[in-house]
Amino acid sequence: MLDYKPTPQEKEIINRTNNMFQMARKARSEVTKLWREAESLYQGKHWEGMNMPSYQNQITVDLIASAIDTMIPILTSRPPKIDIISVSGDDKGMNVAETLQSFMDELWQIRDMQNLIPEFLLDYLVYGTGILKTQWNNADEMPDCDIVDPFNFYVNPSATKLENAEWVCLASAMPIYEIRDRFENGKYVKAMSDLEKYSSTKMGISNFQDNKIQVTDTKGEETNYYDSYGKAMEDLEPKSLVIECYMRDPSKEYVMEEGKEVEKRKYPNGVRQVIISNGVMLYDGQTKYPFYNKENHCPHPFPFVTIKNTGSPHSFWGKPEPKRLKSLNLAMDRISSQISDNISLTSNPMFIVDETTGVDSQISNKPGQIIRKKGAGQVQMVQPPSMPNYVFNFYSLLNDVFETVSGVNKATQGKEASNVTSGVQAQIYRQASTTKIDFKSRTLDQAISVLGAMWVAMFKNLGSSVVRVNFVGVDGLPEARDMIGVMFRDVDLLVRSRAGSMLPENRMFIENKILQLAQLGIVTDPEYIVENMEMPSKERLLAKIREQKEQQQQPMQPDDLGGNEDEIYETLRNNPELANQV
């Protein structure tokens, strides 16, 4: 194995990066414990750490997972749409915006975002924080993104958002062969065996108590325990922890331009990227995306998109949804278990057996069982009292409180509301019942807008190959357009995200309102009505309506009314409104 000898400058930055990582890890230790607890609650592990007798029921009313699994389809039932808007408003800008809009629509499908966003939201709700990493895909030369495990993401302790973060670190275990393949200095990286979750190649696998798997290294110096052979085999692969750090660095340097020394930023967008692994410097330089700046409408220079589930404005991390629902769900678990215990006791009551009956071990509560006694004593069944009504009333109260706290109730689940009898009432009821989920939807829209801005900036600065997109014009006919991303580098574009969910301002509600106004004669413009309808071939129908409007607005010629005076007179007598169009 080759020995790595860093230069003094490399050694300094390696130590600095390690110190930042360890500082962030310690500062986030309490949050990590909270995440583990929230993860267990979502997985239905509500009874861990409770020493209860084996004869008592342990019923898990999995309302926490149900609430989260209900929110995600609501937020993604109609996925957010990225809109590209030209800032200049001129013909060139509008044309570029239309072309890029078609490109972004296709990219959304290519990257399978309709399935990635629900996974992004799952982290957002379970851990309180969802994280995406944007990147340029060299395979197809188009923007891409991946979900980042919150456990692998670190930020300086004083940061409350990426906009005011000084540095961020992404730490994840990577196989040794991949490190050597991706980085020139990867040949110096050695497998690590001092990590909690990742260890180097080991031998000596054996079963242990409680179905655990024991793995000991060849020297007998280290032993680890795993839940299954699968997890043990996964960790047997040689790995090392790769720390990828993005830090703000305003350093400047002098460069020669036109025979003169000019002072410039050493890192174009003021961010330095450092990648290390087990004491080896793998990369140190500017980021691949120096164009993440205000000019391209990116809120921060880091290649990450985060979404925060309320929590404190003074903390970077959001509040896990299971944590706020924990006490209510555990109380319902306990009451349900006690009710079940009572049912079991009622069906299998206790017996009082006199010592003189001669009955030893015949009683087993078997249905129809005959108990034979030899002595004069009595065998008496003791029926326990039924549970008082306040227990069920309290359980119902807990269920109502759970709906209030979670924001998931009968309206969001599509259940019948007995007091709602009209469409207007139903809409008001739904609007009032989805306030919390509506807020989460707006948070998601903001995150998608940031993702769209980064994708557009990436495509305008790195897209060097020809990309063909299908553009659908106002006539509804598809048109193939070829483009190269870097050709649009100087075009200023804004990106926004439009929500699309089952929330109060949904498409069906708007369509019904427009149709009602049309039936009353208040809305008479057919173009406006069709524009607000969700229907196939809408653009073609709109083009036909606009064509008819243009024909009606053009003045009629006398020859259009007939070939002679008698025909013109007859036409005007039958259609007097045509006289105003001549």
Residues 314-336 pLDDT 10s: 999 999 999 999 999 999 999 99
Is the predicted pLDDT of residue 62 greater than 70, yes or no?
Answer: yes
Is the predicted pLDDT of residue 203 greater than 50, yes or no?
Answer: no
CA distance 123 to 130: 5
Residue 98's pLDDT band (cuts 50, 70, 90):
confident
Angle at 272 between CA 267 and CA 275, to 5 degrees: 140
- Average pLDDT value for residue range 541-564: 68
Residue 268's pLDDT band (cuts 50, 70, 90):
confident
Three-state SS for 528?
helix
3-state helix, strand, coil in the chain (%, to 5): 45, 20, 35
The two three-digit tokens of residue 143, written as one number: 């923007």
Three-state SS for 525?
coil
CA distance 36 to 151: 10
- Average pLDDT value for residue range 571-579: 66
The sign one gets for the Cα dihedral 471, 465, 117, 429 is negative
Is the predicted pLDDT of residue 286 greater than 50, yes or no?
Answer: yes
Burial 510-534 (b: 16+ CB within 10 A, else e): eeeebeeeeeeeebeeeeebbeeee
Is the entire prediction scored with pTM above 0.85? Answer: no
CA distance 176 to 305: 28
The two three-digit tokens of residue 263, written as one number: 């002072």
Q: Which amino acid is at 84?
A: I
Count of Cβ atoms closer than 10 Å to residue 224 Cβ: 18
Residue 167's pLDDT band (cuts 50, 70, 90):
very high
Residues 171, 176, 182, 188, Cα dihedral to 10°: 100
pLDDT of residue 251: 86
pLDDT of residue 317: 95
- Average pLDDT value for residue range 201-230: 54
CA distance 205 to 212: 11
pLDDT of residue 207: 47
The sign one gets for the Cα dihedral 573, 576, 578, 582 is positive
Is the predicted pLDDT of residue 511 greater than 80, yes or no?
Answer: no
User: pLDDT higher for 196 or 74?
Assistant: 74
The two three-digit tokens of residue 89, written as one number: 């408003």
The two three-digit tokens of residue 222, written as one number: 């280290």
Summarize pLDDT for 426-464 with one digit per residue, the tens: 555 555 556 778 788 888 888 999 999 999 999 999 988
Is the predicted pLDDT of residue 380 greater than 80, yes or no?
Answer: no
Angle at 73 between CA 472 and CA 128, to 5 degrees: 115
Residue 211's pLDDT band (cuts 50, 70, 90):
low
The string of DSSP codes covering 284-340 is: EEE-S-TT-SGGGT-SSSSSEEEEE-S--TT-SS---HHHHHHHHHHHHHHHHHHHH
Name the one residue in this structure whose structure tokens are 């890890």: 25
Count of Cβ atoms closer than 10 Å to residue 239 Cβ: 27
CA distance 240 to 198: 8
Is the predicted pLDDT of residue 22 greater than 50, yes or no?
Answer: yes
CA distance 387 to 111: 56
pLDDT of residue 10: 92
pLDDT of residue 197: 47
- Average pLDDT value for residue range 298-325: 92
Residue 365's pLDDT band (cuts 50, 70, 90):
low
Question: What are the Cα distances from residue 15, in Å, to 10, 11, 29, 180, 189?
Answer: 9, 6, 21, 22, 16
pLDDT of residue 20: 95
Stretch (H or E) spanning 480: strand 478-484
Which residues make Cβ contacts (< 8 Å) with residue 477, sequence separation at least 6?
540
Q: Which amino acid is at 443?
A: T
- Average pLDDT value for residue range 138-155: 93
H-helix segments, 111-257: 113-126, 176-182, 229-236
CA distance 25 to 153: 9
* 8 A C-beta contact, residue 176 and residue 238: yes
The Cβ-side half-sphere exposure at 389, using a 13 Å CA radius, reads 0
Which residues make Cβ contacts (< 8 Å) with residue 99, sequence separation at least 6?
469, 471, 481, 483
Stretch (H or E) spanning 74: helix 63-76
Residue 224 φ then ψ, to 5°: -130, 155
Q: How many helices (H) and strands (E) does the chain have?
A: 15, 19
Name the one residue in this structure whose structure tokens are 């590209």: 84
Is the predicted pLDDT of residue 162 greater than 90, yes or no?
Answer: yes
Stretch (H or E) spanning 82: strand 81-86
pLDDT of residue 198: 35
- Average pLDDT value for residue range 523-551: 77
Which residues make Cβ contacts (< 8 Å) with residue 62, sequence separation at least 6?
44, 46
Count of Cβ atoms closer than 10 Å to residue 448 Cβ: 26
Instruction: State the chain's mean pLDDT as an integer.
Output: 80
Look at phi and psi of residue 404 and say left if phi exceeds 0, alpha if psi is from -120 to 50, else beta: alpha
Residue 87's pLDDT band (cuts 50, 70, 90):
confident
- Average pLDDT value for residue range 65-93: 82
Question: What are the Cα distances from residue 263, in Å, to 247, 272, 313?
Answer: 21, 18, 38
Is the predicted pLDDT of residue 302 greater than 90, yes or no?
Answer: yes
Residue 291's pLDDT band (cuts 50, 70, 90):
very high
Burial class (CB in 10 A: 0-12, 13-18, 19+), 95: middle
Count of Cβ atoms closer than 10 Å to residue 27 Cβ: 15
Is the predicted pLDDT of residue 529 greater than 70, yes or no?
Answer: yes
The string of DSSP codes covering 331-367 is: HHHHHHHHHHHHHHHHHS-EEEE-GGG---S-----T
